[in-house]
Amino acid sequence: MRANHQWTRIDTNSENLLLKDEVFQIVGCAIEVLNTLVPDLIPFGSVVVDTKVIDKITDHERGLMLNYLRITGLRVGVILNFKHRKLEWERIAL
């Protein structure tokens, strides 16, 4: 059985939005991260995490991670590829 969804434009200025402040705070944090970090990079303690949705991790992604590590001054990175059912990942270290 297929659900019938109707999409309507939501007035984001409305005071009646459910969890409006929380959602805006999350979006604001996401924008701040985008403005301060290399795209797709997530600092996780002393590890740089690069999230991808690609066919396969290649030397290109490995090279990018090495550059990210040099730029951030960190020594360990993890590339996560969410493209397939089974998570593909690699650990990269300087």
Q: What is the C-alpha to C-alpha distance for residues 71 and 25, in angstroms, rounded to an integer?
A: 28
Give residues with Cβ within 8 angstroms of 55, minimum separation 6.
83
Instruction: Return the pLDDT at 92.
Output: 94
Q: What is the C-alpha to C-alpha distance for residues 50 and 44, in angstroms, rounded to an integer?
A: 10
pLDDT digits (tens, 9 = 90+) for 8-22: 555 666 667 778 788
Which tokens belong to 82? 């969410």
More confident site: 56 or 7: 56
Q: Report how far apart, in Å, the C-alpha atoms of 91 and of each of 31, 35, 55, 80 are.
A: 27, 25, 18, 9
DSSP-based three-state secondary structure for 66: helix
- pLDDT bucket at 2, cuts 50 / 70 / 90: very low
Q: What is the C-alpha to C-alpha distance for residues 39 and 88, in angstroms, rounded to an integer?
A: 19
